[in-house]
Amino acid sequence: MLNFNVEFTGEFVAFFLLSVCAIVGAVMAINFTKVVHTALSIAFTFIAIAGLYVLLEAEFIAFVQVLLYVGAITILMIFGIMMTKHDGEGQEQTRPLLETLSAIGCICLFGILFYGIRNANFPAESAPFTEDNTREIGMQLFTQYAIPFELVSVLLTVAFVGAVALAKREEEPQ
């Protein structure tokens, strides 16, 4: 279970660095006390995950991930945070018993995940791997998955109209 026979190719080094970045970002997001710092470390994790997608040769998903999660969602989060005041930020009181228990829980979870991943048996690739997978995504979306795709569009439009309606209603009482 513990024989990690890895070859130091460029790909492995990139994978190692990106995973470390993703984990560091996630850990920092939990540890920071200022909300803007937290939002930024989440963005850092998102970028590292996009890097992992690139390694898996899923460039389209990788860049859409950066475009939406980093470019739009994180900026909106920071925007919202900046618009509001945060005077009550600061260190929370430490609770030793709770922290010990959660540390034990985390170690158990790690053990289970590690055991599961090392023992997992990945079957051979089912779908043929195509070089131009961006085109493949488009083809699938507009043929086999056309109805779910349209449903998602309708859902987004409903959310959009709802957001406009909510924003409009606040103006009326003047």
Footprint of another protein on 83-112 (CB under 8 A)? none
Contact between 71 and another protein (CB under 8 A)? Answer: yes
Which residue has tokens 């460039």? 59
Q: Please report how close the Cβ of residue 145 comes to another protein at its closest, in angstroms.
A: 20
Nearest CB to another protein, comparing residues 68 and 104: 68
Q: CB-wise, 22 or 66, nearer to another protein?
A: 66
Calpha distance 156→150 (Å, rounded): 10
Q: How many residues bind another protein (CB under 8 A)?
A: 32
Nearest-angstrom CA–CA distance, 130 and 15: 22
Closer CB to another protein, 111 or 138, in the complex: 138
Binders of another protein among residues 36 to 65 (CB under 8 A) are: 36-37, 40, 43, 47, 50, 59-60, 63-64
13 binds another protein (CB under 8 A): yes
d(CA 7, CA 12): 7
Whether the Cβ atoms of residue 42 and residue 29 lie closer than 8 Å to each other: yes
- Determine the residue type at 67: L
The distance of closest approach from Cβ of residue 9 to another protein in the complex, given in angstroms and rounded to an integer, is 5
Q: Which residues contact 1 (CB under 8 A, 6 or more apart)?
A: 115, 118, 119
Nearer Cβ to another protein, position 5 or 119?
5
C-beta of 26 vs 54, nearer to another protein: 54
- Cα separation, 76 vs 73, whole angstroms: 5
Q: Return d(Cα 45, Cα 99) in angstroms, integer.
A: 24
- 150 contacts another protein (rule: CB under 8 A): no
Report how far apart, in Å, the C-alpha atoms of 121 and of each of 8, 115, 155, 162 are.
Answer: 23, 12, 38, 46
Which residues are at the interface with another protein (CB under 8 A)? 7-11, 13, 34, 36-37, 40, 43, 47, 50, 59-60, 63-64, 66-67, 70-72, 74-76, 78-79, 82, 132-135
